[in-house]
Structure 1
């Protein structure tokens, strides 16, 4: 779903008017990513959690896979694994992800699509390249974002929300930039996902030298991650792979594309303010709850993703 030209112009005008009366959040820190491997051994670039930033309440993790061009047989994914106590967002930019989980959901996330999985009380799922992509290879690029759940929702029944690219609103500017609003509201549009915690997730593709402003809700933690290219965030340089953590004060963040432009991930969320105890695929409030999660998984109470891989 894309706004009409009128909607785009209105959103841009609204943002410009807001800029004249709102204050800009400064950049509190610029942090480099860690590099690691996940799943079946695919490399990821991770702005957090790191030793410098364990989490950004309510966000627990951002992993970037690629962009990398793979040959036939080189694509890897994540076989059956459990989650409990939080939500995962899988955003596919290039390539694809075939998923299956212990609630019986199966499907494929195509380029531009998003799967929002609320693990809640516990789910086992897999996320693998399709047989077609594995056979032919191609460009692979995706993001995995983890969002914590408050204690009151950690026992919720697992839920999967899937949206294709046509269902996620995009606002475009005359200068060639685009803003894909996955969750929350920005630039006059609202993302299609029902979230347990108020969050804003925007993929900002900035043209070289183009400027834009995104709203930051009061009291929300916020950050900007450079997926590719370079940019300026509230006047401070941000290079490929770096994370700009924003300060607490201000109602907007100002973004400017660098010499080749940039693909940026903007995150803002209302902090939960509860203890975070994590162990691998589980995020709870106490060590006892973590131990129980491992016991439940070992005993099979979280189920199995199961079933033969489905071909597209």
Structure 2
């Protein structure tokens, strides 16, 4: 077995959306994607005042990939053109398969806009292979109690979203066998993931920093990792990381705006289908 090593780190760059603090480690300068993992927006952490406008993501379309949204603090109201609607609170996760086309809105519920409070949200885009890009849309939204945490050694807790870890299976089933979790490490904790050979690896330091061997992955940085079977993380101070792995998709990736397909022609078709109203309509959740 070989150990995964840290080859390089990529700082998330600030790209605020109005008054929403936003950091984006991928895509970024010199880094188009991490295999099947295409995009990460890190919103917050910040505290909203009373009577705020909330999140700005009104109805918009997607096709050809999946969005996985981690609500670390605050709350998020979701509605989409496939008829799904939910309000997910801190510690919960939304997994949406855009597939052949969906319109969705992601906004703050009425109570958050009225009362304000802390907010921190991660949204990750995960690619789909060509055979699934036109699959039927689906949505799963689960609250914090669905992700109770798996103790992993002394001082590490893994909140498993999809895939298997230490004999446990995450509550969301990925169409493509993607493993996703967020993990909390106390000072001095060590956490090991194995079975990684031949997988695309995604590691982002959300809070604090961790070490891979002797190299540090600082706060708000994304890792470029070597191939290997086993990844071991060590935290010298409290840390929270987002970790995932996925089977490689050896196909062209053509991304434009809210669509991710395999060719420019398919992108043009996505825009045409959306403009014809084939994706449906999403209403904003009232609260």
Q: Same fold (TM over 0.5)?
A: yes
**Residue number among 211, 219, 239 corresponding to 2:198 in the alignment:** 219
**Residue number among 233, 236, 253 corresponding to 2:231 in the alignment:** 253
User: Which residue number in structure 2 is paired with residue 19 of structure 1?
Assistant: none
**Residue number among 46, 51, 54 corresponding to 2:29 in the alignment:** 51
Distance change (3 Å), C-alpha of 1:178 and 1:77: farther
User: Which residue number in structure 1 is paired with residue 180 of structure 2?
Assistant: 201
In 1, are the aligned partners of 2:14 and 2:24 still within 8 Å (CA)? yes
Are 2:132 and 1:117 equivalent residues in the alignment? no
Question: Residue by residue, what CA displacement relative to the aligned partner does 1:193-216 show, whole Å, maximum 9, x if unpaired?
Answer: 121222211211110111121124
* Runs of 5+ consecutive residues of structure 2 not aligned to the other structure: none
User: Which residue number in structure 2 is paired with residue 29 of structure 1?
Assistant: 8
In 2, are the aligned partners of 1:169 and 1:182 still within 8 Å (CA)? no
Are 2:250 and 1:273 equivalent residues in the alignment? yes
User: Which residue number in structure 2 is paired with residue 65 of structure 1?
Assistant: 43
**RMSD (Å), alpha carbons:** 1.6
Question: Residue by residue, what CA displacement relative to the aligned partner does 1:122-159 show, whole Å, maximum 9, x if unpaired?
Answer: 00000001100011110101110111111100111111
* Runs of 5+ consecutive residues of structure 1 not aligned to the other structure: 1-21
Distance across 1 between alignment mates of 2:153 and 2:65: 38
Distance change (3 Å), C-alpha of 1:139 and 1:210: same
Distance across 1 between alignment mates of 2:55 and 2:286: 16
In 1, are the aligned partners of 2:90 and 2:144 still within 8 Å (CA)? yes
TM normalised by structure 1 equals 0.87
Q: How does 1:1-312 map to 2 (within 5 A)?
A: 22-38=1-17, 42-72=20-50, 73-173=52-152, 175-248=154-227, 250-259=228-237, 261-306=238-283, 309-311=285-287
Deviation at 1:41, TM superposition (A): 5.6
Secondary structure, in 3 states, of the residue corresponding to 1:37? coil
In 2, are the aligned partners of 1:216 and 1:253 still within 8 Å (CA)? no
Distance change (3 Å), C-alpha of 1:117 and 1:234: same
Q: Segments of 4+ in structure 1 off by > 3 A?
A: 173-176
In 2, are the aligned partners of 1:184 and 1:199 still within 8 Å (CA)? yes
In 2, are the aligned partners of 1:234 and 1:253 still within 8 Å (CA)? no
Question: Residue by residue, what CA displacement relative to the aligned partner does 1:242-296 show, whole Å, maximum 9, x if unpaired?
Answer: 1111101x2111111123x111111211111100001110000010110011111
TM normalised by structure 2 equals 0.95
